[in-house]
Structure 1
């Protein structure tokens, strides 16, 4: 088995998925604060958005890690992306209902995307050679920053999309983030093959035997 080729393919998939997944987190941390303050009726609520997103990342990290341990990175990352998709849709719904508690729960759910962003770093190292592990890991981290930086810049395109779709103010960017989360989940599920974690385990088993 050509482990080098599998690692290169995995890195391409992970980097692309990180760009897509980062869009959701970038939107959550920037526009989320504005949206929370608007729905809550006070700037005092603005900080709750980032708090809930960060808390969501922490809460989903362990279950997704356990899922990866059982069935591999592919299903774990796709599941996290799907949960992030649900969170982005819930943000739009909660803003339509002007419901602050639901909005905060939505931000927490969207935080699953942050857990996925962190887990891809481990996925990048599963099959990496010792001499290239730092480089491979850095490549995936760097790809994440593209999405996170681009996320806040979705305000303009998001507003235009929101107007056309009749969405509440500031939620158009979350519609784009929802599509990005969907695409990342599909990418991980169908393109991250063979699964780097499962291949790494099989290699360790064969070499140990």
Structure 2
């Protein structure tokens, strides 16, 4: 089996983190003043200066829709990564780390946000903490308990269970009388209709 196929969960976890970063970008673009400037630029290019407000609402609506879309895609990739990965902790570490790094780059490119060294130090500590927790979780997997043996089926298909002990002193019709009494009690409560 190829390396890419065995480690497909890594690609899915990184994609999930990237979608989470884009989700955050579109959420911010839905509410920021940068979108107003962007909408005014579109209105000028299309010679629709009188419709600036409508274009701004449309652009914000598109960004909100993209926010929802990337949120759904992020969860899809994340759950697939969890299904294909061997450890939920490893998937979460890759997802969180890629989300931090891609968010930082997108913030710099789109919003001109330069992140102070303290942010990078905090992000690095979070990643290191996740790695430590992940290595602790991976190391705590002790030996797996062996399952109880399943009885093998006999030729007659009944299995290797012991026969149910029979009571010798009870007359054959005694159990039938008890069953009829129980049915009569239930019928008196109105639970069953008489079928006889």
Structure number with higher helix proportion: 1
Q: TM-score, normalised by structure 2?
A: 0.40
Who wins on radius of gyration, i.e. which is larger? 2
Q: TM-score, normalised by structure 1?
A: 0.38
Greater relative CO (CA pairs within 8 A, separation 6+): 1
